[in-house]
Every structure is written in C-alpha cells, then in structure tokens.
Amino acid sequence: MLSYQHTYHAGNHADILKHIILGDVVHAMQKKETPMFLFDAFASRGMYDLNAPEAQKNREFDTGIGKLWPLKDQTNPAGVTRWFRLIKRENLDNTFNRFPGSTALMASMLRESDRLAACDLHPQEFEGLRHSIDSSRKLALHKRDAFEALGALLPPKEKRGVVFIDPSYEDKSEYKKVAQTIAATYPHFRAGVYVIWYPLLPAERHLELFSELKRSGIRSILRIELDCGDSFPDMQMHGSGMLIVNPPWHAKQAMQTSLDWINENLTGGKGTTHFGWLVPE
C-alpha cells in the first residue's frame, strides 16, 4: 500500500517485539562463519525521527521504546542489550529520538562477508531509506515491489540467510499473499530463515496467514506472539507476533527469554504470550 508510512507507528510495542526477536535470529545465524544474505522486504525509512509530527500525532512510541528506555542501563537479556546498544549509538544525547528500524538493525549486524538488500516501493519511504542508510558493496537499496523482489533476489549466492517480511497489512489480501509468496519462493531457497511479522487486530485476519502456511506443506514454522490485552486501550492493535520458518535452534532460548522480558516490562506480565510450533519440524 503506497499510503502507509511507518513513522506514525515507529517505536510502538510491535516494533519492540519485531526488532528484538529479529536481532536474536540474525545473531544466532552468525554463529556460523559462512557468509549470509539478509533481506528486508518492506524496509520503510530505516531510521525514524520520533520528534516528527507524524510520530507525535498519536505517540505510539509511548507503548514501546518510551516505556522501556528507563531500563536501558540495567542488566538485560542479550537480545535486549543488543537492541538498546544500537539506539544509544544513534542518540548521543541520551534520548531515543532517532529510532532505528529493521534495516538499520540488520545493517548494524553485518559482518564483512555478509550482504543486505532492502526494498520499499513508497516514494517518500524509499527517499527516507536512501538518506538514512548508505548503500555499498554489502548493502543494496531497491525501490521495487517486495513480492516481486522475493522472487527475483532469491535464492542468493550465499546459499543461506534471513528474509524479513513485515508488510503493513492495510491491504487485507496481504495476509494470504505473504503465505502464497513464501510457498512459491521456499522450494528455491529451502535453507533460508523466513521471519514474518503480523499484527493482532480485532478482525483476526492473521488466522488467514496461519491457514495458508499450514496448507503450503512447509514444515518447521515457529510462532512467537505477545497479546498485550488491554494494556494499551487507545490502540486498535493489541499485540503482534512473528512466524519463523526454519528457526535457528541457537536462537530459541534467546527468543523465549526476550519474549518474556518484553511481556514483563511492557505489560507488567499481564500480556498473553505464545511460543511454540505453528507447524512442527
């Protein structure tokens, strides 16, 4: 959807879950020395100004980074510490006004042997991405449709990697389209780790995503979810989740620990978490 701009939502509770868990996955994949390819299919801006009018309009970041920032200097799980460290590097004034998105996160984790590609079709979002992230031999920015790019850029020459998929889902057909695109792509890149974010909304359309993936025949799909309940009554989105195809086993304990920490510190432990197989191995 070319109307969607993530700055309105940057730093909210869903961003917290997606970025910390994504960091856990990438870190676990890097335990092997062999090169890998990282692909951010719906990159958006890469870096967000939380002082911008769009971010200030509903102040969704108060449900996420705004609530967690006081905890930045205490002893935290490794994945949380990694995430806080990135935000600190972008804000030398001890604020969180420059909030890194998924592309900035993955770019910060690149090793010399790794590559990253990031896509966005929205003109303003891509322009923001181009200004906040420097393209290089290791980092390519593409102004192109994410679903088309999934077919064009995979499989990568590295033969292993992480594919991150988090559309806005403003187009309701995207729940099925994500699953169908992965089903079409997977046979060509079976070694890939596919990380799919989804929102929890009253209409429960994420169940369409679940159903399509179950019918695809793909095995080993882990479901990680946080339902914040009534912790943030002003937001229609009451939680979010991640589906991970081929989750690296090194990451499982870290992701469970991160999920528990996020729930405890965002909802006071009142949220409902899920950590288990959508489709078993």
For 158-213, what is each residue's pLDDT tens digit? 999 999 999 999 999 999 999 999 999 999 999 999 999 999 999 999 999 999 99
Q: Are 128 and 104 in contact (CB under 8 A)?
A: no
pTM attached to this predicted model: 0.96
pLDDT digits (tens, 9 = 90+) for 86-107: 999 999 999 999 999 999 999 9
Tokens 């988090």 belong to: 166
Query: Could you tell me the end-to-end alpha-carbon distance of the chain, in angstroms, rounded to an integer?
Result: 34
- Give the separation between CA 248 and CA 19, rounded to whole angstroms: 16
**pLDDT band at residue 241, thresholds of 50, 70 and 90?**
very high
Cβ 115 vs Cβ 139: under 8 Å: yes
- Give me 234's structure tokens: 């002003």
Domains of the chain: 6-279 (3.40.50.150)
Residues labelled as active-site residues: 166
Handedness of CA 139, 23, 169, 123 (dihedral sign): negative
Extract the tokens encoding 87: 């935000």
**Separation CA 37–CA 162 (nearest Å):** 6
Question: How many Å separate Cα 163 from the centre of its chain?
Answer: 10
pLDDT computed for residue 137 by the predictor: 78
